[in-house]
Amino acid sequence: MRVLHDESLAKLVVYRGVLDGTALRTRDETLGTLTALRRDPPVPPEAMEPASFPELIRHFVDALVGQYRGQPSRRR
């Protein structure tokens, strides 16, 4: 249950990061925001497993970028 909670929270953090501001105006802004989230993923206090939370964000960002570019996502 803890993993499901953190996976859902990671998606919420990424979606909020992309939706806040101007990220959706251009392809480059969207990819730039996703790159920044991947490079420095925030760990909200609600995360149940803070040590592994950044990897959940990175995995979800990789999946979104893969979909955006039309490529299958790969888990790292």
- Residue 67 is predicted with a pLDDT of 86
Q: Is residue 75 part of a domain?
A: no
Structure tokens at 54: 């950044």
The two tokens of residue 18 are 């992309």
pLDDT beyond 70 at 22: no
Number of domains in the chain: 1
According to DSSP H, which parts of the chain are helical? Answer: 2-19, 27-39, 53-68
pLDDT for the residue numbered 74: 52
**Can you give the pLDDT at residue 26?**
81
Say yes or no to pLDDT of 18 above 70: yes
Model confidence pLDDT, tens digit, residues 43-64:
999 999 999 999 999 999 999 9
- Residue 65 is encoded by which pair of tokens? 């970028």
- For residue 72, is pLDDT > 60? no
Q: How far apart are CA 57 and CA 34, in angstroms?
A: 10
Which phi and psi angles does 71 have, rounded to 5°?
Answer: -120, 150
Write out the residue range of the structural domain in which residue 34 sits. Answer: 2-68
Read off the pTM.
0.80
Please check whether residue 57 lies inside any domain of the structure. yes
